[in-house]
């Protein structure tokens, strides 16, 4: 967040693929020599409120974005599901111990464990109302909002050829006059600790599978972001 001058709370709400896409997109704009300029909003008292760095007005309408990603939004979904799972697991254990206390009386070993579990559980799980916007693949739209790109905007997936296909689409858009420039950003990260146990582990023969969470999944080379 700091390296790119972005709000930390905003970045925290992005899926990992969105974060990669935005970082790669900002670097691509720099490489292409396209400057971002500070936009302001006039206030009712005649002042100017800074809105943030955006594409120059002359470029905004004519800049499209294609986000190539095969697993966008999955990290947020899995993280949230694991957070609920942890809560439900503790709740089930607490219920079980309560039942034992009811049936056989307040055994010290049981009541002590019960108190520990209640402390461990803390606040019950609640789903954030904005969750759908984190789990939905939104990197293309979030990046467009951030830099003020108002041209065509989409996420595409063709598995490993997603970015190649995105580049051909970008060429189509320019040839047909849908816009004058397209930012193509590709990003996926399935070897992070959240997704690797699901998406990488599944590709391994079970007898060679390392224990969940005990292995450095990053040794699999499938994290990355690219721009064109």
**Nearer to a second copy by C-beta: 54 or 113?**
113
CA dihedral (175, 177, 179, 181) positive or negative = positive
**Nearer to a second copy by C-beta: 53 or 148?**
148
**Nearer to a second copy by C-beta: 115 or 128?**
128
**Nearer to a second copy by C-beta: 1 or 201?**
201
What Rg do the C-alpha atoms of the chain give, in angstroms?
23
Q: How far is the CB of 117 from a second copy (least distance, A)?
A: 9
Q: Which residues contact 93 (CB under 8 A, 6 or more apart)?
A: 117
Beta pairing, strands 181-189 & 48-54: unpaired
The Cα 201–Cα 206 span in angstroms is 8
Q: How far is the CB of 118 from a second copy (least distance, A)?
A: 14
The Cα 89–Cα 70 span in angstroms is 31
Which residues is 48 bridged to in the sheet? 42
DSSP classification of residue 184: E
Please state the separation of Cα 153 from the chain's center in Å. 18
Q: How far is the CB of 42 from a second copy (least distance, A)?
A: 30
Q: How far is the CB of 154 from a second copy (least distance, A)?
A: 5
**Nearer to a second copy by C-beta: 53 or 139?**
139
**Interacting residue ranges for a second copy, rule: CB under 8 A:** 70-72, 74, 77-78, 80-82, 85, 88-89, 92-93, 96-97, 99-100, 103-104, 107, 109-110, 113, 126-132, 135-138, 140-141, 152-159, 165, 169, 172-173, 175-176, 178, 198-199, 201-206
Token couple for 168: 């051909």
Q: How far is the CB of 100 from a second copy (least distance, A)?
A: 6
């Amino acid at each position: 967040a700091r390296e790119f001058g972005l709000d930390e709370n905003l970045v925290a709400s992005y899926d990992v693929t969105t974060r990669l896409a935005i970082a790669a997109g900002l670097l691509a704009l720099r490489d292409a020599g396209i400057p971002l300029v500070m936009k302001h909003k006039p206030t009712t008292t005649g002042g100017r409120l800074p809105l943030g760095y955006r594409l120059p007005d002359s470029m905004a309408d004519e800049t499209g974005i294609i986000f190539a990603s095969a697993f966008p939004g999955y990290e947020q979904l899995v993280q949230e599901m694991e957070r609920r799972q942890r809560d439900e697991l503790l709740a089930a254990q607490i219920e079980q111990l309560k039942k034992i206390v009811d049936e056989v009386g307040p055994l010290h070993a049981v009541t002590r464990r019960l108190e520990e579990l209640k402390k461990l559980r803390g606040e019950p799980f609640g789903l954030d109302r904005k969750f759908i916007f984190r789990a939905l693949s939104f990197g293309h739209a979030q990046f467009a909002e951030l830099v003020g790109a108002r041209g065509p905007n989409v996420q595409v997936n063709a598995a490993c050829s997603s970015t190649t296909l995105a580049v051909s689409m970008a060429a189509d858009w320019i040839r047909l006059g849908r816009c004058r420039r397209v930012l193509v950003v590709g990003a996926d990260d399935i070897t992070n600790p959240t997704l690797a146990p699901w998406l990488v582990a599944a590709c391994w023969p079970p007898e060679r599978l390392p224990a969940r969470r005990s292995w450095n999944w990053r040794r699999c080379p499938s994290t990355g972001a690219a721009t064109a």
